[in-house]
A and B are shown apart, each in its own frame.
Chain A
Amino acid sequence: MLTVTLTINDDEQTHTVEPRTLLADLLRDRCGLTGTHLGCEHGACGACTLEVDGKATRSCVVLAAMCEGRSVRTIEGLRDDKIMEVLRRHFHQLHGVQCGFCTPGMLVMARDILRRHRKPTEKIIRHELSGQVCRCTGYANIVAAIGAAGAELDQGASS
């Protein structure tokens, strides 16, 4: 067993974990943060995407032990985030949610895209989303919602 100290949603915590414990399992099973979903557990579907030190990361292919001293932010830790507030509104208004299982990972990835690309084009959004699987929506409304959020944030930044 190993001891790991990390910051989860601004709260510094110490956990004793097996070397093989996944970051996603630590968060879901020990911290009660079940908004991080597991869709494949081999880093392919993106449902478990969260932020480690500000970067979008797949928590199903990161060991908890690798997060010593790092800062992890999950969907639960982004409720007051300005970009996320805009994204949530556009996902809602443009029907970017159906069953909701991919949604948290999709939103975290969308936020990451908007932090790296000012007012991204549809082509950029589709390319950047290529590691996120959604089986319900057919992506169109998700892509549109991210584009609309990007446009709104861009306008807010330039006015």
Chain B
Amino acid sequence: MAEHAANGWIGARLLRKEDARHLIGSGTFVADIRMSGLQDVAFVRSQMAHAKLRGVTKPERYAKRVFTHADLDAPQIVQAGPELSNFRQSPYPALASDKVRYVGQTIAACVAPTRAQAEDIAEAVTVELDELPAVVDVVAAARPDSPRLFESWPDNLYIKSTVTEGDVASLASAPVQVKRQFKMNRQATVHLEGRGVLAYWDARLNELVIYLSTQGAHVMRHGLAMALGLPENQVRVIAPDVGGGFGGKNRLMPEEIAVAALAMKLGHPVRWIEDRREHLLASVHARDHYYDLTIWADREGHLLGLAGDVYIDSGAYSLWPTGSFMEASMAARNLPGPYQMKHLKVNTFTVATNKAPMGPYRGVARPGACFAIERAVDEVAREIGREPVDVRRLNLVASHQLPYRTAGGLLLDTGDYHASLETVVGMVDLPALRKRQAAGEPDGRAIGVGFAFYTEQSGHGAAEWTKRKSRVVPGYESANARMLPDGSVLMHVGIQNHGQGLETTLSQIAAHELTLDPAAISVRYGDTAAGPFGFGTFASRSIVFAGGAVAKASRELLEKACRIGAHLLQTDVANVRAEHGAVHGPNGKVTLAEIARAANIRQELLPMGEQPLLEVTATYEPGDSGGVFSYGTHAAVVAVDPDTGKVEILDYAVAEDCGTIINPMIVDGQIQGGIAQGIGTALYEEVPYDDQGQPLATTFGDYMVPCAPEVPTVRIAHSVTPALCTEYGVKGVGEGGAIAPPAAIANALCDAFRAIGAKFNETPLTPRRVSDAVDRARNGGTAS
């Protein structure tokens, strides 16, 4: 039974509509689609990081089943990255043409009735490569004397830029100066369902149908149509159930273009289902930030400014549409965090290396920036001998200062940052923890507590994305509300659900506006042939944008229903109101179902001049498109074995504010799930490369993801400060959980070993890194 909140369906803990099919194994993911004549694709991939491609020899017996760059009907190379003239182009062919630039790059596609047979053929293909020096270290790669990935470039920089505010030179004589390096290593996005694509030519409709595991079917159709040289009305992209994305399914990828091109050529359906090895090798990689920073403060701990260099190891190519440029600019702009420092100068270097291309991953850039600034704040606190919490109290933007433009140029909108900090300090009982630390642990482990504050820009539209020179500007979302003759509602949205529960939350919003039960509303998405254009789910944008569009479409539909209802009740529209699925007048009511019947199939009942149908398509963008900021403070309590370096999280608490909540159950689920991924970044997940550019984690035996024993049940406290410019005051919540854990956990480790000054400035904090850091500190060094 659905649970109603006091405010109608807004805020109700409605159980999810999506669950029923998944609980009986009846979800439909791309790999579950069966089609007669379907054949599988296996790719031949580069085994070298950097090489000239001399030739591909096909096994004679299977020559017609192997396709190289020359065999595909020349898919276009789509320009990727921001629309900035100084952003260098890195043409990325679907199948390598003259060079390979990372281990795992696609060279040939092999087609066979089963994947196993396709892999047999792939193994029999011979590839001739002339090895070139591998470019692996990001800082060395940025130097002018480094071997280059692209001959036409003067160096390996996609772009460099500087973010400046105030005058950091004026801080030269500041009493406290802390210089540190921080590193957040390379990760994969690891959605449990790998990528997947199935394509065939539909002769009846004269169009290419592409089933794609994606976060945004409409944008991908645009990119695929450009790559294939087809008009967009001959490309239909369908995203069925999508088994997680986290950013990893939001870029146009070479395998997808190759499979679509093969479908056009072969005349039967073909598919490629990514396996886990391919995922870790050649899917979207993320993070890989290196910070070399100086932070200045006064003796009390007032932060004055910050300067330094940020290197982003972007891998071998830019992925369409945006590349990884946002990593650098967002990292730089988020470095001042929620603090009142006035001076900032950050040089950013977005660097090409012989590694898999970088894309977005939950939190995009902010986990790295948060790690750097929150670690730096703790370092300042140690330097002046104060509690890290006190230094935060001193520097956090106060609620009376909001809206506040940070030195990074972000306009923080609403909230009470101090309250969030105090709440979480109370939740973990800091004084009690200090006593426990002083007493020591009977098992010899060290206990530490760490705090980290984050903000999560969400719901940003045209103003923000045009500033970023984005190739595609996701400035709105759309909804098509259609009331059928029996009064049931189809709500087609341009957004894509892939675990966020949007079938549930968007139906709550529609139900709230239409005065219906959510059960009467069916939310549909993920088919470019059915729904209006939309951008998809990323950047914590869905509830702000798609929620707004659904609210607007529903309201406009209800307005028309009220006009028809008033006519049926023989009264003026000013005298009617909608309530409980009916339009009520002074002398009775008429249900929405009766109104829908009139509008759809009994036009003689309509008022004069009223058009038939109850159908509205609406787009929505918040009043201020610079974004609204969710925020919160994380606190981690850890126990660490100093000899083995094994870290156990004893307690994890969050005090957050994401504005008005549509469904509290789903919000808590997003926070808990985001924190689990943040714990992965902090302690476990890494794709290391050796100095030949060979990736060293290509199975779940080498790439550790946190499981149930490693992820505690997070204690969550909410406060609600509604946004001023969004429907109902909502803000996004999808990414926040993943932003702060690396910072909070690293700060907790530093706290645990503060007596010996061990520093934990590189993630993931594996047992090796932790025990090495303790060892170094014990032997007298404190270098990071």
- What is the interface of chain A, defined by CB distance below 8 A to chain B? 18, 20-21, 25, 28-29, 32-42, 44-45, 47, 74-76, 79, 88, 91-93, 95, 97-104, 107, 125-127, 129-144
Which segment of B75-83, B186-194, B448-456, B468-476 sits at the interface? B186-194
Asked if residues B673 and A74 are in contact (CB atoms below 8 Å), the reply is no
Asked if residues B34 and A32 are in contact (CB atoms below 8 Å), the reply is yes
Query: Interface 1/0s, chain B 226-260, versus A by CB < 8 A?
Result: 00000000000000011110100000000000000
Measured between beta carbons, the chain B residues less than 8 angstroms from A18 are 116
**Which B-chain residue is minimally distant from A122 (CB atoms)?**
B713
What separation, in Å, do the CA atoms of A130 and B275 have in the docked complex? Answer: 21
Q: 7 closest pairs, A vs B, by CB?
A: A35-B25, A100-B22, A101-B243, A99-B499, A138-B676, A44-B700, A75-B25
Asked if residues A104 and B25 are in contact (CB atoms below 8 Å), the reply is yes
Asked if residues B27 and A100 are in contact (CB atoms below 8 Å), the reply is yes
What separation, in Å, do the CA atoms of A137 and B673 have in the docked complex? Answer: 4
Measured between beta carbons, the chain A residues less than 8 angstroms from B24 are 35, 75-76, 79, 88
Asked if residues B191 and A137 are in contact (CB atoms below 8 Å), the reply is no
* Contact for B243 among A75, A99, A132, CB less than 8 A: A99
**Which A-chain residue is minimally distant from B40 (CB atoms)?**
A29
Asked if residues A95 and B666 are in contact (CB atoms below 8 Å), the reply is yes
Asked if residues A99 and B193 are in contact (CB atoms below 8 Å), the reply is yes
Query: Which of A21, A32, A137, A140 has the largest number of chain B CB atoms within 10 A?
Result: A140
* Contact for B193 among A25, A29, A37, A143, CB less than 8 A: A37
What separation, in Å, do the CA atoms of A79 and B500 have in the docked complex? Answer: 25
What separation, in Å, do the CA atoms of A138 and B737 have in the docked complex? Answer: 10
CB distance from A144 to the nearest CB of B (A): 8
What separation, in Å, do the CA atoms of A143 and B713 have in the docked complex? Answer: 9
* Contact for B708 among A33, A104, A125, CB less than 8 A: A125
**Which B-chain residue is minimally distant from A98 (CB atoms)?**
B499
Measured between beta carbons, the chain A residues less than 8 angstroms from B116 are 18, 20-21, 25
11 intermolecular pairs with C-beta atoms under 8 Å apart: A28-B32, A32-B34, A39-B194, A40-B275, A76-B24, A91-B19, A92-B16, A99-B243, A99-B498, A103-B23, A138-B674
Measured between beta carbons, the chain B residues less than 8 angstroms from A93 are 15
What separation, in Å, do the CA atoms of A42 and B697 have in the docked complex? Answer: 14
- What is the interface of chain B, defined by CB distance below 8 A to chain A? 15-16, 18-29, 31-32, 34, 114, 116, 190-194, 241-244, 246, 275-276, 498-501, 665-666, 668-669, 672-677, 699-701, 705, 707-709, 711-714, 737
**Which B-chain residue is minimally distant from A107 (CB atoms)?**
B23
Asked if residues A45 and B191 are in contact (CB atoms below 8 Å), the reply is no
What separation, in Å, do the CA atoms of A133 and B279 have in the docked complex? Answer: 15
Asked if residues B709 and A135 are in contact (CB atoms below 8 Å), the reply is no
Asked if residues A138 and B192 are in contact (CB atoms below 8 Å), the reply is no
What separation, in Å, do the CA atoms of A99 and B499 have in the docked complex? Answer: 4
Measured between beta carbons, the chain B residues less than 8 angstroms from A79 are 24
Measured between beta carbons, the chain B residues less than 8 angstroms from A136 are 192, 244, 499, 669, 673
CB distance from A81 to the nearest CB of B (A): 11
CB distance from A2 to the nearest CB of B (A): 14
* Contact for B25 among A36, A40, A98, A127, CB less than 8 A: A36
What separation, in Å, do the CA atoms of A40 and B711 have in the docked complex? Answer: 21
Asked if residues A142 and B191 are in contact (CB atoms below 8 Å), the reply is no
* Contact for A135 among B21, B190, B668, B701, CB less than 8 A: B190
Measured between beta carbons, the chain B residues less than 8 angstroms from A36 are 25
Asked if residues B23 and A88 are in contact (CB atoms below 8 Å), the reply is yes
What separation, in Å, do the CA atoms of A41 and B707 have in the docked complex? Answer: 18
What separation, in Å, do the CA atoms of A142 and B191 have in the docked complex? Answer: 18
What separation, in Å, do the CA atoms of A139 and B243 have in the docked complex? Answer: 16
Asked if residues A101 and B29 are in contact (CB atoms below 8 Å), the reply is yes
* Contact for B677 among A29, A125, A129, A135, CB less than 8 A: A135
Asked if residues B709 and A34 are in contact (CB atoms below 8 Å), the reply is no
Measured between beta carbons, the chain A residues less than 8 angstroms from B276 are 39-42, 44-45
* Contact for A140 among B29, B243, B672, CB less than 8 A: B672
What separation, in Å, do the CA atoms of A37 and B275 have in the docked complex? Answer: 12
Asked if residues B190 and A129 are in contact (CB atoms below 8 Å), the reply is no
What separation, in Å, do the CA atoms of A76 and B22 have in the docked complex? Answer: 11
Asked if residues B23 and A134 are in contact (CB atoms below 8 Å), the reply is no
Measured between beta carbons, the chain B residues less than 8 angstroms from A39 are 192-194, 276
Asked if residues A100 and B241 are in contact (CB atoms below 8 Å), the reply is yes
Asked if residues A139 and B701 are in contact (CB atoms below 8 Å), the reply is no
Measured between beta carbons, the chain A residues less than 8 angstroms from B241 are 99-101
Given A42-B701, A99-B193, A135-B191, CB of A130 within 8 Å of CB of B709: yes
Measured between beta carbons, the chain B residues less than 8 angstroms from A100 are 18-19, 21-22, 27, 241, 243, 499
Measured between beta carbons, the chain A residues less than 8 angstroms from B22 are 97, 100, 103-104
Measured between beta carbons, the chain B residues less than 8 angstroms from A74 are 25
CB distance from B504 to the nearest CB of A (A): 10
* Contact for B705 among A32, A104, A133, CB less than 8 A: A133
Asked if residues A139 and B708 are in contact (CB atoms below 8 Å), the reply is yes
What separation, in Å, do the CA atoms of A132 and B192 have in the docked complex? Answer: 11
Asked if residues B32 and A34 are in contact (CB atoms below 8 Å), the reply is yes
Measured between beta carbons, the chain A residues less than 8 angstroms from B674 are 138
CB distance from A136 to the nearest CB of B (A): 5
What separation, in Å, do the CA atoms of A142 and B665 have in the docked complex? Answer: 13
CB distance from B535 to the nearest CB of A (A): 19
What separation, in Å, do the CA atoms of A133 and B193 have in the docked complex? Answer: 11
CB distance from B305 to the nearest CB of A (A): 36
Asked if residues B672 and A141 are in contact (CB atoms below 8 Å), the reply is yes
Asked if residues A141 and B669 are in contact (CB atoms below 8 Å), the reply is yes
CB distance from A134 to the nearest CB of B (A): 7
Asked if residues B499 and A129 are in contact (CB atoms below 8 Å), the reply is no
9 more A-B contacts (CB under 8 A) besides A97-B23, A99-B242, A143-B713? A25-B116, A40-B700, A42-B276, A42-B701, A47-B192, A74-B25, A126-B708, A136-B669, A138-B673
What separation, in Å, do the CA atoms of A42 and B280 have in the docked complex? Answer: 13
**Which A-chain residue is minimally distant from B676 (CB atoms)?**
A138
CB distance from A123 to the nearest CB of B (A): 9
**Which B-chain residue is minimally distant from A91 (CB atoms)?**
B23
Asked if residues A133 and B192 are in contact (CB atoms below 8 Å), the reply is yes
* Contact for A92 among B19, B34, B699, CB less than 8 A: B19
CB distance from B674 to the nearest CB of A (A): 8
Asked if residues A138 and B672 are in contact (CB atoms below 8 Å), the reply is yes
CB distance from A17 to the nearest CB of B (A): 11
What separation, in Å, do the CA atoms of A24 and B21 have in the docked complex? Answer: 20
CB distance from B507 to the nearest CB of A (A): 16
What separation, in Å, do the CA atoms of A130 and B26 have in the docked complex? Answer: 25
What separation, in Å, do the CA atoms of A92 and B713 have in the docked complex? Answer: 18
What separation, in Å, do the CA atoms of A125 and B711 have in the docked complex? Answer: 13
What separation, in Å, do the CA atoms of A125 and B713 have in the docked complex? Answer: 13
* Contact for A130 among B23, B244, B707, CB less than 8 A: B707
* Contact for A98 among B15, B29, B673, CB less than 8 A: B673
Measured between beta carbons, the chain B residues less than 8 angstroms from A21 are 116
Measured between beta carbons, the chain A residues less than 8 angstroms from B700 are 40, 42, 44-45, 133
**Which B-chain residue is minimally distant from A87 (CB atoms)?**
B23
Asked if residues A95 and B669 are in contact (CB atoms below 8 Å), the reply is yes
Asked if residues A92 and B23 are in contact (CB atoms below 8 Å), the reply is yes
Asked if residues B25 and A139 are in contact (CB atoms below 8 Å), the reply is no
Asked if residues A139 and B711 are in contact (CB atoms below 8 Å), the reply is yes
Asked if residues B18 and A95 are in contact (CB atoms below 8 Å), the reply is no
CB distance from A9 to the nearest CB of B (A): 11
CB distance from A33 to the nearest CB of B (A): 8
Measured between beta carbons, the chain A residues less than 8 angstroms from B27 are 35, 100-101, 103
CB distance from B397 to the nearest CB of A (A): 29
What separation, in Å, do the CA atoms of A99 and B711 have in the docked complex? Answer: 19
Asked if residues A127 and B709 are in contact (CB atoms below 8 Å), the reply is yes
**Which A-chain residue is minimally distant from B193 (CB atoms)?**
A101
What separation, in Å, do the CA atoms of A147 and B18 have in the docked complex? Answer: 22
Given A40-B276, A139-B711, A142-B708, CB of A92 within 8 Å of CB of B15: yes
What separation, in Å, do the CA atoms of A97 and B714 have in the docked complex? Answer: 17
